[in-house]
Amino acid sequence: MHRDSERHKLFSRRAMMLAGGKATLLSALIGRMYYLQVIESDRYKTLADENRINLRLLAPRRGRIVDRFGVPIADNQQNYRVLLISENTRDIEYTLDILGRIISISPAERRRTVRDVKRNRSFIPVTIRENLDWEDVSRIEVNAPDLPGILIDVGQSRSYAYGADTAHVIGYVAAVSAKELTGDPLLELPGFRIGKAGVEKIHDTDLRGASGSSQVEVNAFGRVIRELSRSEGQPGAEIALTLDLGLQQMITRRLEGESASVVVLDVQTGDVLATVSTPGYDPNAFNRGLKTEEWKDLISNPMAPLINKSIAGRYSPGSTFKMAVLLAALEKGVIAPANKIFCRGYTELGDSRFHCWKKHGHGAVDAKEAITQSCDVYFYEIAKRTGIDRIATMANRLGLGVKSGIDLPGEKAGVIPTIAWKRRELDAPWHQGETLHAGIGQGYVQITPLQLAVMTAQLANGGVQITPRLTKLVGGYKTADASKSGDEKKSLGISSAHIRLVQEAMSEVVNNPVYGTAKRSRITEPGMEMAGKTGTVQVRRITKSERDVGVIKNQDLPWKERDHALFVGYAPVADPRYAVAVVVEHGGGGSSVAAPIAHDILLEAQLRNSADDGIAPSPNLKPLSGLDKIPEQADG
């Protein structure tokens, strides 16, 4: 009995302990369920929603770029592209193989896709091909069940309707490189483009806008069921330029076949009405992706189509530099306007002889006659009296050899040499013979066409400083004026009498029927007359034997050895509004090649009233004047 009683008590204790343990576990389970289902219900509901709801970033519409009259230069068009989301496919190579049977995929596109998949997070779509036609899109959609991770997206693609006509100004957009990723998720979107050159680059942030978002419901396989909400974001700002597109097109046609540059400025405001560099390139090719052959053709072209010669081409200015030399000499007082210097065709310095372009000389010439006839001997002499440092100071004041401040990337400063410059850059002393070379705009002197246009505009407006401006409006708001108005206008500090002398001389260059070096290119329409200065720049040394026999005609030389042709001018003479600089690489004589081009441009600008802000003139191009067929005439 005693043993049975002990066994019963032991069994009862164990049963109670087991029941207590079960009760404890059940209580913990109930508590945990209460915690998860009641207290943490909101959190887990959110997590569940995140598993079935995807938030996708939407690229904003890139802002348009228009000319001064509102004509679109850069716009957007629909772009169908095929994307790959790597997390939705088990085998990327297999998926690409299947897709390659439906549409053509080049080896380069396949390599790029695999590379981009490795670089990006698995849920980020990667672009395989863009600019698909409707047949390709249809074939992909029909075969969608066999293409896990593949989807069709409709985006925006940049379009440049005027191609090479505006390429160097507008620039282009292209895919974001690894170095350009900043952590901004917008830059990681498939097919997203950013500005790489020109206005597209300098205003990229304004043009880009702000991203939108889309909430979509997906099933367990990641397929989109429906869109729950959508926010389009903020479109990019519209950029209005100071360019007159019609004038820009006319100049491009006028320079066809040449390696050349033209800049046209409003002399009062500094507005860039046209800036052309030829040959150009198709910016649409950079947007879609250049082929290897296309890239090789561009970089091997001796006319350098990728360089914006207007702001990055550096040239000896030749005789177009003589106005700066004359103003420096007049300011220093080494010569008076009426003082004459005798030109016998050359001058001597030590045992060296410096020749004038006119073999037998110009005789006695004063300041105005020296500009009109472009007498080299006159400028050799006044340069020697003035000194290179004072010439450089005046040239810089006129805008030569310094960056202009234009709102375009890639501008070069050029070179206006000084004694200190040569010591610093070449570790050599300055020689007086180099001053004589600089006196006619050769030797070490290098400038850009834009700088020549700025100098000409400031001479035309009476010596008022301007800064060239390309951007007129950003998002409908005016930009800070590049030049001052009224009492805020800043003078260059050059004597008004000296400026008037140079203006009169530049008018004589074109309008003097006997001695003007550009007399055949004068504008005969009343009230539209132009003034200017020719320049012809040697790119090779003429030997003594060649000089004794006679100068070889440019057309008989290889293209690379021909002279550069330059002309700067403004119009109308009575009330200047337009300034132009023309540089034709290896074009020949400034009077026979560059001056006729300037004639056509300044006449067209006046007929179009390009500087006005009214309704855009007719885009139809006017017939060219035919002055490009004028036979060569001598000039400086």
**Residues 431 and 336 grouped into a single domain:** yes
Give the position of tokens 């068009």: 77
**Residues 190 and 252 grouped into a single domain:** no
Q: How far apart are CA 166 and CA 282, in angstroms?
A: 9
Task: State the number of CA atoms in the 13 A half-sphere of 336 facing the CB.
Answer: 2
Q: How far apart are CA 87 and CA 151, in angstroms?
A: 13
Which pLDDT tens digit goes with each residue over 172-202? 998 888 888 887 888 877 778 899 999 999 9
Q: What is the pLDDT of residue 118?
A: 85
Residue 330 lies inside a defined structural domain of this protein: yes
Q: How far apart are CA 127 and CA 136, in angstroms?
A: 15
The answer to which of 52-61, 129-138, 280-289, 437-446 has the lowest mean pLDDT is 52-61
Give the position of tokens 């926010």: 231
Long-range contacts of 187-190 (CB under 8 A, 24+ apart): 188/120, 188/124, 189/57, 189/59, 189/125, 190/81, 190/83, 190/124, 190/125, 190/126, 190/127, 190/153
Q: What is the pLDDT of residue 601?
A: 98
Q: Is 319 a catalytic residue?
A: yes
Strands 53-58 and 212-218: antiparallel
- Which candidate, 111, 75, 64, places its Cα nearest to that of 207? 64
Highest mean pLDDT (candidates 44-48, 282-286, 505-509): 505-509
Query: H/E element holding 52?
Result: helix 41-52
Percent of the chain with pLDDT over 90: 56
Give the position of tokens 């899109």: 137
The alpha carbon torsion through 598, 437, 418, 467 (nearest 10 deg) reads 0
**Residues 231 and 327 grouped into a single domain:** no
At residue 628, does pLDDT exceed 80? no
Residue 635 lies inside a defined structural domain of this protein: no
Q: What is the pLDDT of residue 223?
A: 56
Measured over all CA atoms, what is the biggest interatomic distance in the chain, rounded to whole angstroms? 155
What total of structural domains would you count in the chain?
Answer: 2
Written as one string, the DSSP assignment of 341-375 is EEESSEEEETTEEEE-SSTT--EEE-HHHHHHHT-
Q: What is the pLDDT of residue 301?
A: 93
Which residues, 6+ apart, have CB-to-CB distance to 447 below 8 Å? 314, 315, 316, 317, 321, 400, 401, 414, 416
**Residues 504 and 400 grouped into a single domain:** yes
Q: What is the pLDDT of residue 462?
A: 96
At residue 431, does pLDDT exceed 90? yes
Could you say which of 178, 212, 241 is where a domain stops?
A: 241
What residue type is 233 in one-letter code? G
Residue 40 lies inside a defined structural domain of this protein: no
CA dist list (Å): 449 to 38, 165, 278, 328, 628: 76, 18, 13, 21, 20
Query: H/E element holding 567?
Result: strand 564-571
At residue 56, does pLDDT exceed 80? no
Q: What is the pLDDT of residue 182?
A: 81
Task: Compare 360 and 556 and report the one with higher pLDDT.
Answer: 360
Residue 49 lies inside a defined structural domain of this protein: no
Domain harbouring 395, CATH code: 3.40.710.10
At residue 232, does pLDDT exceed 80? no
CA end-to-end distance (rounded Å), the chain: 141
Cβ(168)–Cβ(277) below 8 Å: yes
**Residues 400 and 367 grouped into a single domain:** yes
Burial of 491 by CB count in 10 Å (0-12 exposed, 13-18 middle, 19+ buried)?
exposed
Q: What is the pLDDT of residue 362?
A: 95
Task: Compare 3 and 496 and report the one with higher pLDDT.
Answer: 496
Q: What is the pLDDT of residue 514?
A: 94
For residue 333, name the pLDDT band (cuts at 50, 70, 90): very high
Give the position of tokens 């169908």: 80
Q: How far apart are CA 364 and CA 107, in angstroms?
A: 73
At residue 400, does pLDDT exceed 50? yes
Kindly report the number of other CB atoms within 10 A of residue 283's CB atom: 26
Phi, psi of 318 (to 5 degrees): 60, -140
Q: What is the pLDDT of residue 227?
A: 64
Q: What is the pLDDT of residue 559?
A: 75
Phi, psi of 358 (to 5 degrees): -95, 110
Residue 8 lies inside a defined structural domain of this protein: no
Could you say which of 200, 222, 241 is where a domain stops?
A: 241
- Which candidate, 467, 354, 443, places its Cα nearest to that of 392? 443
- Bond into 145 cis (ω within 30): no
Could you say which of 241, 275, 294 is where a domain stops?
A: 241
At residue 583, does pLDDT exceed 80? yes
Q: How far apart are CA 240 and CA 69, in angstroms?
A: 8
Highest mean pLDDT (candidates 187-201, 204-218, 524-538): 524-538
What residue type is 419 in one-letter code? I
Give the position of tokens 């070069």: 412
Where b means 16+ CB within 10 Å and e means fewer, 54-78 reads eeebbbbbbbbbbbbbebbbbebee
Domain harbouring 152, CATH code: 3.90.1310.10
Q: What is the pLDDT of residue 615?
A: 66
Which pLDDT tens digit goes with each residue over 297-314? 999 999 999 999 999 999
**Residues 143 and 260 grouped into a single domain:** no
SS3 207: helix
**Residues 234 and 152 grouped into a single domain:** yes
For residue 371, name the pLDDT band (cuts at 50, 70, 90): very high
Q: What is the pLDDT of residue 358?
A: 92
Q: How far apart are CA 236 and CA 211, in angstroms?
A: 10
For residue 509, name the pLDDT band (cuts at 50, 70, 90): very high
SS3 282: coil
Task: Compare 156 and 540 and report the one with higher pLDDT.
Answer: 156
What average pLDDT does the segment 376-382 reach?
97
Cβ(587)–Cβ(318) below 8 Å: no
> What would the two tokens of residue 501 be?
């002398």
Q: What is the pLDDT of residue 80?
A: 84
Q: How far apart are CA 634 and CA 519, in angstroms?
A: 11
At residue 470, does pLDDT exceed 70? yes
- Which candidate, 112, 113, 80, places its Cα nearest to that of 95? 113
Range of the domain at 179: 54-241
Q: What is the pLDDT of residue 634?
A: 45
> What would the two tokens of residue 357 be?
């372009």
Residue 176 lies inside a defined structural domain of this protein: yes
Task: Compare 22 and 579 and report the one with higher pLDDT.
Answer: 579
Give the position of tokens 């009109």: 372
**Residues 373 and 237 grouped into a single domain:** no
Per annotation, catalytic residue among 319, 507, 592, 610: 319
Residue 129 lies inside a defined structural domain of this protein: yes
Residue 38 lies inside a defined structural domain of this protein: no
For residue 631, name the pLDDT band (cuts at 50, 70, 90): very low
**Residues 325 and 189 grouped into a single domain:** no
**Residues 265 and 175 grouped into a single domain:** no
Percent of the chain with pLDDT over 70: 84
Which pLDDT tens digit goes with each residue over 67-83? 999 999 999 988 888 88
Q: What is the pLDDT of residue 220?
A: 55
Q: What is the pLDDT of residue 94?
A: 87
Query: H/E element holding 382?
Result: helix 376-386
What residue type is 271 in one-letter code? D
Task: Compare 231 and 265 and report the one with higher pLDDT.
Answer: 265
Q: How far apart are CA 580 and CA 611, in angstroms?
A: 13
Q: What is the pLDDT of residue 26?
A: 81
Q: How far apart are CA 58 and CA 271, in angstroms?
A: 36
- Which candidate, 263, 294, 255, places its Cα nearest to that of 452? 263
Quote the mean pLDDT of the chain.
Answer: 86
Burial of 410 by CB count in 10 Å (0-12 exposed, 13-18 middle, 19+ buried)?
middle
Q: What is the pLDDT of residue 550?
A: 57
Backbone angle region of 280, left / alpha / beta, with phi > 0 → left and psi within -120 to 50 → alpha: beta
**Residues 307 and 233 grouped into a single domain:** no
**Residues 411 and 514 grouped into a single domain:** yes
Q: What is the pLDDT of residue 441?
A: 96
Strands 363-365 and 477-478: unpaired
